[in-house]
Chains A and B, each alone.
Chain A
Amino acid sequence: DAAVTQKPRYLIKMKGQEAEMKCIPEKGHTAVFWYQQKQSKELKFLIYFQNQQPLDQIDMVKERFSAVCPSSSLCSLGIRTCEAEDSALYLCSSSQRLGASAETLYFGSGTRLTVL
């Protein structure tokens, strides 16, 4: 079983609705990353946190998403107004620390969002 836990596993929303997904990083990890994956293709970076602080995010996240890590044991990613193009697998990952190029990322099984 993945050491990183994501909930819910599946999420179905109507266009225009709000969506929220949660992630419990591996214990002791200080860096948390969110990626978006469509149709099992490449993972697209969304945002990352170090010690609960957001350090980098893409413009799409700034404009339409909300992401927080209120504690080292819980993070969440939200979409304020879902659009069809947001249908994807959202993967949360964590690592022990940020900055070391050889850090291994540990991924959860993801939340599959479908926007109707």
Chain B
Amino acid sequence: QQQVRQSPQSLTVWEGETAILNCSYENSAFDYFPWYQQFPGEGPALLIAIRSVSDKKEDGRFTIFFNKREKKLSLHITDSQPGDSATYFCAPPRSAKLIFGEGTKLTVSS
């Protein structure tokens, strides 16, 4: 059973556009939602995170929007840059482990 679902699997945007990555989950016990960014050949690294008591978290060009009622959240990357090309994972923790979604592979074309 996939506890965390991400869409789309892959996304291509032009430089300067806004990329929108989606995440949905089943388990109501999730209360913290980190997003990890992974470049080819590297391990994931924490990009931005939101707690379930908030509906929005912003950090520069990266913003998480959270809808607790619908169990959905989205990561918006504004003014996308080629350096943002990576795979993004929604990975809420449960029982000390991060539960990873399948990820969204983002490609930013210049």
Contacts and interface: CB of A to CB of B under 8 A. Distances in A.
A109 B97 contact: no
Size class of the contact patch on chain B: 20 to 34
Contact of A33 (B34, B97, B101): B97
Given A2-B42, A109-B41, A41 B103 contact: yes
Given A43-B100, A48-B97, A4 B43 contact: yes
A101 B99 CA distance: 12
Given A43-B44, A104-B34, A107-B43, A48 B100 contact: no
Interface in A8-45: 31, 33, 35, 40-45
B68 to A, nearest CB: 16
Nearest to B98: A105
Interface of B: 31-32, 34, 38, 40-46, 49, 51, 87, 89, 91, 93, 95-103, 105
Interface of A: 2, 4, 31, 33, 35, 40-45, 48, 55-56, 91, 93, 98-99, 101-110
